[in-house]
Structure 1
Amino acid sequence: MATQHDIALTNALTGIPGPLPPSGVIHVAFPHANRFTIVGNHLAQHDGLSLTAIGIGVHIQSLPAGAQVGIKALTARFAEGETTIAAALRELETHGYLHRTRARLANGRVITRTVFCNQPGAVLRGGVVPVVGPAVRSTAPAPTLVREHVRVPEPTAVLEPRPMAETTSVPEPMPVPEPMPVREPIPVPEPVPVPEAPHAPVRLPPRTAPTQPRRPLPHPQALTPELRQAASALLADLRRHAEELVLSEEAVEELVPGVAAWLERDATTDAIRRALTADLPKPLKHPARLLRHRLTALLPPPLPGVHDLAQPRRAPVTPFQTCDGCERAFRSHDPGHCRDCRAQYWEAA
């Protein structure tokens, strides 16, 4: 098969008129009978477009009217990714080959209109009226997607009358085509807003529980200079035990009464430090607020006094006595007879 192919190619090269170039590409061109698209060299040999943009431009020009040429559709068709295809479409847009505009339909839906111009220069000059047709023809140029189309009739020649007495030959004037008005695009009517039915006012459900006010920071009964100095030193020393607890001077002055209240209730500095630095959240955004909450919520009660810790006195117990008559035991503060013996003595008396 390879030998037959080489022989056929050699025969085709032999049929090319004229000398073959000594180097470079050699074109073997056969006329197309069907399924072809005419592409201008201004696109195929564009020096400002990338190879991907040129290939996508040729591909779009060969598609029929109404074909999908979005990024998703081109990505599903070719091996290039969305980023590469999007960049190529932007190149075609920059050089005037591709135009993408947003339009609103009569039903209110917004769509994207994609228009591809096979000759951007002719559109800028305004000398060509685009024509809508099938994308693949046997004898027609490449298609162009347009929204409105107007076919220009054949121009009629306008001849001026020649005088009868004139003997010299005067060249006939060239036919001047009459300018045909181009129909303006039909404006798309704006969707008429439909008034919505009035809705009943939405009522939010009542809050189940009111927001609790923030508890005030505890204060000692008497903020002595000694308590103030000890509380300030403890707060300033917290950053040695937890790097997150870096407080400003204003925050230290605000929290001093709370620490002084703890010290007044005989809480040790180690206990206060453990309560303020244990289980810190990560990350800690507001250290002063956290310390204020812990000083308020974890405040210990005052230590009880010595009398409060003494054992309660028991109620006095009536001692046992032995009855002088029956020798039974009974409770009484004084010795004597039990209740039964006393009853017998009263009856006898």
Structure 2
Amino acid sequence: MATQHPNALTRALAELPGPLPAFGVIHIAIPHTSRFTIVGNHLAQHAELSLVAIGIGVHIQSLPVGSLVGIKALTARFAEGEMRIAAALRELEAHGYLRRAHVRLANGRMATRTVFCNQPGAVERAGRVVVAPKVPPAVPEEAPAVPEEAPAPPPAPEPDPVPESHPPVRVPPRTAPKPPRRPLPQPRELTPELRQTASAILADLRNHAEALVLSEADVEELVPGVAAWLEREVHPGAIRHALTTDLPKPPKYPAKIVRHRLTVLLPPPLPGAEELAPAARRPLVIPLQNCDGCDRAFRSREPGHCRGCRSDLMEAAA
């Protein structure tokens, strides 16, 4: 894209102290005097949050108290759909940036408030969060932010905004810890042949999916998982297909993706010949009964009389 002011940019670069890097981004930092927000690098450079979650987190942190930050409001503001925004909010909540706090309003009703924590670790240590006072916009032409109407539990109507003099809101502790990560499948015996084949499959993944570049340490860690598949007589091509099909674009952590798929997609062992053989048909055996008349044994599904006694009874009845 063509630069609109090449001469000004050239002068600005020339005034930067020290030698410029041969590649990568170059910062021209001009101090802000109004309408700016201080954002920690722990959020802007978070290693586990998606780019959408980081962007929404920065956007929410820049808003004044009382601004609408629900899924509907963010969807109306940005081009991302409801599903992506909802997933991003869940990411922020999982990492402690977004909280739901229950407060009692002046009318006695309980309401759920959305609380954004700019330093989740500090909030965990302090055990509370103080709602900052509302600051009017720096630019007079902008309309003031509309207070957020946090929904109360149905069927109660939506509550009024929390007043500025409201006491500190207690942040509820995390009561649901993350479930432990499922262990990587292990073979019954990691033979040298299994290790060699599994290493070759993992190292060859980048030839079928460019993003799946694994380090030597990753390959060494994941070898038992692939060996467990091979031990269950899964063809190497089927393993490769399971690990490289429908990858996220771009995959942020290739080794984690491979580990997850090796764990959750592990097929069961092949059934043996005995399990696949049809059940042998057993001969029909009619049980023995004692005749009610002569007490002789005869075969019948139901107790009663033998054939001879039945004939005598029929003749007597005639």
Give the TM-score taking structure 1 as reference length: 0.37
Q: Of the two, which has the highest radius of gyration?
A: 1
Give the TM-score taking structure 2 as reference length: 0.41
